[in-house]
Structure 1
Amino acid sequence: MSFRARVALAAAAAVAVAVVGISIGAYVLVRDSLRDEVDRSLSQRSVRTELAPFGRRFGTIRPPAFGGAAGYLQLVGADGATLRPPGDDVPLPVDDADLAVARGESGARYADVEVDGIHLRVLTRPVPGGALQLARPLEEVDASLSRLRAALLVAGGAGIALAALLGLVVSRTAVAPLGRLADEAEAIGATGDLTRRVGIAGTDEIGRLGHRFDEMLAALESSELARRQLVADASHELRTPIATVRTNVDLLARHPDLSPPERDAALETARAQLEELSALVTDLVEVARDGSEPAAPPEAFRLDEVVGDAVGRVERAYPAIRFSVEHEPTVVDGVADRVHRAVSNLLDNAAKWSPEGGVVEVRVRGAEVVVRDHGPGIDPDDLPHVFERFYRAPTARSTPGSGLGLAIVQRVAAEHGGAVTAENAADGGARFALRLGPADHPVGSV
């Protein structure tokens, strides 16, 4: 059963329950009102009845106003004997409850009885020497109630049918956006076209659902484009070191008689390319992770100590570069290994662009790490793109690297609630500032 049909069926069922409840309530209310009217009439007639001493002669009933029904009379003695007016030969049934009224053991009572196929309403009330029974037929009341039942049945059935019809119309209008959403989802699943959008407007639940669905499609489209770009860029970046390694391996295989210097040069080139390839693969894994793996829980750590360790590692890789470190004890919350990686990338980038014998200045203050080199600086045209993945300035394409290091720095900064900026120093060189979240712990707590 479709969702639209279920909505219509639910609306019809709700109306049906309401109609049945209202019909039953109306029927009971009308029935009680009609029967109460009969009971009041019997009570009034019983009060007007004039009775002679029981057993000598029967009393009479004053004629009712405007020819109303006088009722059917019967006297009941304490011993169960009955007496009726002359000409009334059909006795009213007398049960134990009526005898109790005749003996004075209980008060007046009303009861429904059937005599000769006629439905009667009987009032039995105590009188001197016994009980008086006054009966009136309920045929008019029963006929009215029968007509009422038929009218309620017809009206209720028509109301339920109309509710079902209106439910179909309303559900068609209300569910139409959901149908469009389902159609778009099926089309996207069949074609893989993530550029499609539902375009459902509105602030209600369906409108919000359509808006979120479009946002999800936009995120998926962006992710897919990023994945394709990553694959294309990675294949491009991997092609050069792999080709170089293959060339040198083929050279060694085809020319086993190479001189030792030539062999050593080929091996050194292959080793350098393998190291570059290893670094590139590491960066690719880092970039491809893109937050899909759960990050380690943040912990308080000494930022100045992490920076000092990163400086020591990079110094060993660049012995011709001097690193000047200025720091103050700083505690931050985060993942120390991730911050170490980001700082190492900044230091490595600064060392690559520093002239031999140059100085890389490192400053740690608060939750900020500033790395400044004295190289050629960043071309203004390249400055907006330095943190993009695989972006390499024209002047950098002859230097080792994959173009992922600074992109990783930017991601680590974002993961720690901070940011990274790049600018050219006024007196030459480039300055990078990595800002992390604020320090929340005293230095002595770590």
Structure 2
Amino acid sequence: MQRARAVLGRWWRRRTLHDRLSLLVTAAVAAAVLTVAGIAFAAVAQIQRQQLRSQLETDARSVVAQPELWRDGPPSQGPGGRRDPRFRRDIGPRWQVLGRDATVTAHSTNDLPVTDGARRVAAGEEQQVQERVLLDGHSYLMLTVAAGRGGGAVQVAADQTPANRTLTMFGLLMAAGCVLGIGGAAALGRTVARAGLVPVQQLTKAVEDVAVTMDLNRPVPIHGVDEIARLGQSVNTMLAAIDAARQSQRTLVEDASHELRTPLTSIRTNIELLLAVERQPELAHRLPPEERAKLLRDLDAQVGELAALTTELVELAREETTREPAEDVELTDVVAAAIDRVRIRVPAVTFTFDADAAPVHGRPNELERMVVNVLDNAAKWSPPGATVHTGLTAEQGWCVLRIADTGPGIDAEDLPHVFDRFYRSPAARGMPGSGLGLAIVAQTAAQHGGTVTAAPNDPRGTVVTIRLPRL
């Protein structure tokens, strides 16, 4: 059974959507036609049986009402050749009157069998018995009823062959109608499937054209408000998202190429100078030891800057599948760990921290990296001996983290761009950095369902505010 199901499942999965819809429509119509035909056949058969039984009961009551008139058979005509009015009609071809001892006292031209059921009725043990008997190769329905107070019974029977023949003919006609109906349903199903799949075929062609041309700016045509239209809208939304991701990737690559070019050029120039001195020792006097040491320090700083830039680029381009799983974390612990890390790197700056309980759902390492980036930026702009204050509060379903420094602050025209990738204000271009730290902060906050803003601090400096959903 399971093997048959597996084979049927494989066969079904190999069919096209057009064939599946055609088969489903055909099966639905076939089920409806067969159900209606079965009900109609059963209803007609029941009506025929009911009519035959009613006829037998009427004939039996006619005999029971005046049994003495049937002892010698019902005369068809009365005295003078006229029909006796007491006989309202002739009954069926087979009838029989039994005495109390089940002997036949009157009968039609053809006898009826006296069965055990008929004997019980004649003896008064039962009121009536209905039986099917075989006479002369035909099936008869025989009804035996009690004759009344004097005892005895009346038997009447009717041949079921004409009714069965009519029922058989009706069944054949119904079967032919079902075959024609199912055949028409199959043809109609293919037509309906073909017409219903026209929008799907148009949508498929449009998507295939996009795949060939790679033109993501050409939306798929949408007609109507049905499910196919919703699918088209979803495809257009997906194309827009893909186009935005591609544009973002292209921008990232272009900006990264521009940013990497500067340190790479500087490193190459310094290395070429060192190699030239190594190849021509007679020129060594042109590069004194102190200048050589300075050049090596510059190379080390540039390599470190290049490594930091590469790490930040990887962080920005990280795919969702390579990220750590999200979990319930206490943001207070994350911020405290970030402060400890930055405090070791920048001992000249004092860090203070005031916090309330702030549970969030997120990725601990990414959240810590986000806080470290903001603290590094605040420490970079703070003079020696300055204080960077960090406060964490819970406000109306949000965990609000504020990091305030007392540095020179951010110019008003630069505030809208500080979280853009590779953006560096004129004042920051002479300081180390890639312009990606705050961009990573904004990306991490957005990935955790939060926001980040920067504003002037009173009386001087900058306040960076991060809002994350609170558990």
Q: TM-score range by the shorter chain?
A: 0.7 to 0.9
SS of residue paired to 1:378: coil
Q: CA deviation at 1:243?
A: 2.9
Aligned residue type for 2:463: F
SS of residue paired to 1:122: strand
Verify: 1:283 aligned to 2:312, yes or no: yes
Cα gap change, 1:173/1:59 in structure 2, threshold over 3 Å: closer, same or farther? same
Cα gap change, 1:118/1:394 in structure 2, threshold over 3 Å: closer, same or farther? same
Partner residue, 1:404: 436
Unaligned runs of 5+ in 1: 441-446
Partner residue, 2:377: 349
Deviations 1:323-379 (A, max 9, x none): 46554243333556444433432343345556x769565352533323345437336
SS of residue paired to 2:19: helix
Runs of 4+ in 1 over 6 A off after TM superposition: 61-66, 77-81
Q: CA deviation at 1:279?
A: 0.6
SS of residue paired to 1:125: strand
- Root mean square deviation, CA, Å: 3.8
Q: CA deviation at 1:52?
A: 5.0
Q: Answer whether contact 1:51 1:58 (CA < 8 A) is retained.
A: no
Partner residue, 2:57: 43
Q: 26-35 vs 289-298, which deviates more?
A: 289-298
Q: Answer whether contact 1:359 1:373 (CA < 8 A) is retained.
A: yes
Q: 11-20 vs 205-214, which deviates more?
A: 205-214
Q: Answer whether contact 2:56 2:158 (CA < 8 A) is retained.
A: yes
The counterpart of 2:391, out of the listed 352, 364, 372, is: 364
Verify: 1:141 aligned to 2:163, yes or no: yes
Q: CA deviation at 1:387?
A: 0.9
Q: Answer whether contact 1:328 1:364 (CA < 8 A) is retained.
A: yes
Partner residue, 1:444: none
Partners of 2:87 and 2:229 lie apart in 1 by: 70
Aligned residue type for 1:260: P
- What are the within-5 Å matches in structure 2 for residues 316-395 of structure 1? 316=347, 323=349, 325=351, 327-334=353-360, 337-353=365-381, 359=386, 361-364=388-391, 366=393, 367-375=400-408, 377-378=410-411, 380=413, 382-393=414-425
Aligned residue type for 2:389: V
Partner residue, 2:324: 294
The counterpart of 1:260, out of the listed 286, 289, 302, is: 289
Partners of 2:199 and 2:90 lie apart in 1 by: 66
Partners of 2:48 and 2:420 lie apart in 1 by: 88
- Aligned pair count? 428
Deviations 1:222-273 (A, max 9, x none): 2233223323322332232233223323332331243322321221121011
Verify: 1:110 aligned to 2:142, yes or no: no
Q: Answer whether contact 1:184 1:198 (CA < 8 A) is retained.
A: yes
Q: Answer whether contact 1:304 1:328 (CA < 8 A) is retained.
A: no
Deviations 1:151-186 (A, max 9, x none): 433443444344334433433343333334444454
Aligned residue type for 2:306: L
SS of residue paired to 1:331: coil
SS of residue paired to 1:269: helix
SS of residue paired to 1:60: coil
Q: Answer whether contact 2:422 2:434 (CA < 8 A) is retained.
A: yes
Verify: 1:219 aligned to 2:266, yes or no: no
Partners of 1:158 and 1:96 lie apart in 2 by: 49
Cα gap change, 1:338/1:331 in structure 2, threshold over 3 Å: closer, same or farther? farther
Cα gap change, 1:83/1:252 in structure 2, threshold over 3 Å: closer, same or farther? farther
Deviations 1:117-157 (A, max 9, x none): 54433223344675433222335533542443344334434
Cα gap change, 1:419/1:85 in structure 2, threshold over 3 Å: closer, same or farther? closer
The counterpart of 1:271, out of the listed 290, 295, 300, is: 300
Partners of 2:41 and 2:245 lie apart in 1 by: 65
Deviations 1:76-130 (A, max 9, x none): 67888657647x2x44455554455455554422334443354433223344675
Partners of 1:365 and 1:120 lie apart in 2 by: 98
Q: 162-171 vs 14-23, which deviates more?
A: 162-171
Q: CA deviation at 1:38?
A: 1.9
Q: CA deviation at 1:11?
A: 2.0
Partners of 1:425 and 1:364 lie apart in 2 by: 14
Cα gap change, 1:309/1:436 in structure 2, threshold over 3 Å: closer, same or farther? farther
Under a length normalisation based on structure 1, what TM-score does the superposition of the two structures give? 0.79
Aligned residue type for 1:125: V
Q: CA deviation at 1:436?
A: 3.3
SS of residue paired to 1:437: strand
Q: 248-257 vs 146-155, which deviates more?
A: 146-155
Aligned residue type for 2:308: A
